[in-house]
A and B are shown apart, each in its own frame.
Chain A
Amino acid sequence: MRSGDFKETYADLIVLSDSRLVWAWAGVLVVALVVAPFVVNAYVLSLLTLVLITVTGALGLNLLTGLTGLISLGHAGFLLLGAYGYAIVVAKHNLHPLLGFLAAGVAPALFAIVVGLPSLRLRGLYLAITTLAFSYIISDLILEAKSITDGARGITVQRPEFFGLDFSSDPSFALLCAFVAAVALFACLNIQRSRIGRAFMAIRDNDIAARTMGVNLQAFKLYAFMTSAFITGIAGALMGIYLSFVSVEGFPFLFSIEALAILIVGGLGSALGAVLGTVFIVLLPEAIRILFSWFGGALESLLSTGVHEVKSIAYGVAIILFLRFEPRGLVGVWRDAKRLWTHWPLKY
Chain B
Amino acid sequence: MRYLIATALAALALHGAPAVAAEQGVTDTEILIGEVDPFTGPPALLGKAHSSGLKLAFAEANEAGVNGRKIKMISEDDGYVTARTLQGLRKVIDVDKVFSVVGISGSGQSIAAMPVLEKSGVPTIISSAPVSQIFEPARKNVFALGQVYTQGIKELTAFLADKFPGKKWGIVTQDDDYGLLVREGFDTIVKAKKLNVVYSGSYKKGQTDFASDMLRLKESGAEVFLAGGIISENVAMIKEMEKLAFKPAVGIFWPGRIEVVLKLAGPASDGLYAVDYVEPLAGPAGKAFVEQAKKHLTEAEMKGINRYTEAGYAAGRVLVEAFRKCGKALTRDCAISEIEKTKDLQTGVMAPISFGAGKRFSDQKVQIMQADFATLSYKPVK
Q: Residues of A with Cβ closer than 8 Å to B?
A: 41-43, 46-47, 50, 136, 139-140, 143, 151-154, 156, 239, 242-245, 247-250, 252, 254, 304-309, 312
| Residue pair A308, B77 in contact (C-beta under 8 Å) | yes
CB <8 Å contact, A42 and B176: no
Measured between beta carbons, the chain B residues less than 8 angstroms from A312 are: 40
A-B contact pairs, 29 of them (CB 8 A): A43-B90, A43-B91, A43-B93, A43-B95, A139-B204, A140-B175, A143-B175, A152-B177, A152-B179, A156-B111, A242-B83, A245-B82, A245-B111, A247-B82, A247-B176, A249-B82, A249-B177, A250-B108, A304-B74, A304-B76, A305-B48, A306-B39, A307-B77, A308-B40, A308-B41, A308-B77, A308-B79, A308-B84, A312-B40
Which residue, of A136, A151, A154, A312, has the highest number of chain B Cβ atoms within 10 A?
Answer: A154
Enumerate chain A residues within 8 angstroms of B51, measured Cβ to Cβ.
305
Report whether over half of chain A's contact residues are helix, strand or loop; otherwise say mixed.
Answer: helix
Q: Is the CB of A249 within 8 A of B108?
A: yes
Contacts of A308 in B (CB 8 A): 39-41, 77, 79, 84
Determine the chain B residues whose CB is within 8 A of the CB of A247 once the complex forms: 82, 108, 176-177
Interface size on B (CB < 8 Å)?
35
B81 sits at the interface (CB 8 A): yes
Residues of B within 8 A of A (CB): 39-41, 48, 51, 74-77, 79, 81-84, 86-87, 90-91, 93-95, 106, 108, 111-112, 114-115, 175-180, 204-205
What residues on A are CB-neighbors of B112 within 8 Å?
A: 243-245, 250
Main secondary structure of the interface of B (DSSP, over half): helix
Q: Nearest Cβ in chain A — how far from B128, in angstroms?
A: 15
Q: Are A309 and B177 interface neighbours, CB within 8 A?
A: no
User: Which residues of chain A have C-beta atoms less than 8 A from B94's C-beta?
Assistant: 41-43
B207 → chain A closest CB, angstroms: 11
In Å, the complex CA distance between A156 and B177 comes to 13
Q: Is the CB of B176 within 8 A of A304?
A: no
CB atoms of B204 and A140 under 8 A apart? yes
Cα distance, A46 to B74, chains bound together (Å): 19
Determine whether the beta carbon of B75 is less than 8 Å from that of A154.
no
Question: Complex formed: what's the CA distance from A307 to B90 in Å?
Answer: 16
Residues in B whose Cβ lies below 8 Å from that of A304: 74-77
* A239 to B81 Cα, complex, angstroms: 13
Asked whether A143 lies within 8 Å of B83 as measured between CB atoms, the reply is: no
Given A154-B108, A307-B77, the answer on whether A243 and B90 have CB atoms closer than 8 Å is no
Query: Which residue of B is nearest A305, CB measured?
Result: B39
Residues of B within 8 A of A43 (CB): 87, 90-91, 93-95
- Inter-chain contacts of A248 with B (CB < 8 A): 176
| Alpha-carbon gap, A179 to B81, bound state (A) | 26
Could you tell me the distance between the alpha carbons of A250 and B80 in the complex, rounded to whole angstroms?
9
Check B95 against A152 for contact (C-beta < 8 Å). no
With contacts A43-B91, A50-B83, A243-B86 taken as known, whether A143 is within 8 angstroms of B40 at the C-beta atoms is no
In the complex with contacts A243-B82, A244-B115, A42-B74 CB distance below 8 A? no
- For B111, the closest partner residue in chain A by CB is A245
- A143 vs chain B, min Cβ distance (A): 5
In the bound complex, how far is the Cα of B35 from the Cα of A315, in angstroms? 25
Q: Are B75 and A252 in contact (CB under 8 A)?
A: no
The 8 A-B pairs at the shortest CB distance, nearest first, are namely: A42-B94, A245-B112, A250-B82, A308-B40, A43-B94, A305-B39, A43-B95, A152-B176
Q: Complex: how many Å from CA A248 to CA B176? A: 8
Q: Is the CB of B86 within 8 A of A242?
A: yes
Alpha-carbon gap, A169 to B87, bound state (A): 16
A154 touches B175 (CB 8 A): no
Q: A247 vs B205: C-alpha distance in the bound complex, in angstroms?
A: 13
Point out the residue from A46, A242, A249 that lies within 8 Å of B176, measured CB to CB: A249
Contact (A42, B108) CB under 8 Å given A143-B176, A245-B82: no
Complex: A213 Cα to B229 Cα, angstroms: 56
Contacts of B82 in A (CB 8 A): 243, 245, 247, 249-250
> Distance (Å) between the CB of B135 and the closest chain A CB?
15
Q: Which residues of A contact B41 (CB under 8 A)?
A: 308
Whether the pair B86, A46 counts as a contact (CB closer than 8 A) is: yes
Contact partners of A151 in chain B: CB under 8 A: 180
Q: How far is the CA of A151 from the CA of B90 in the complex (A)?
A: 28
Write out the residue numbers on chain B whose beta carbons fall within 8 Å of the beta carbon of A305: 39, 48, 51, 75, 77
Docked Cα-Cα span, A305 to B369, in Å, equals 32
* Closest-CB distance, B121 to chain A (whole angstroms): 13
CB neighbours (8 Å) of A42 from chain B are 90, 93-94
Contact of B40 among A136, A245, A309 (CB under 8 A): A309
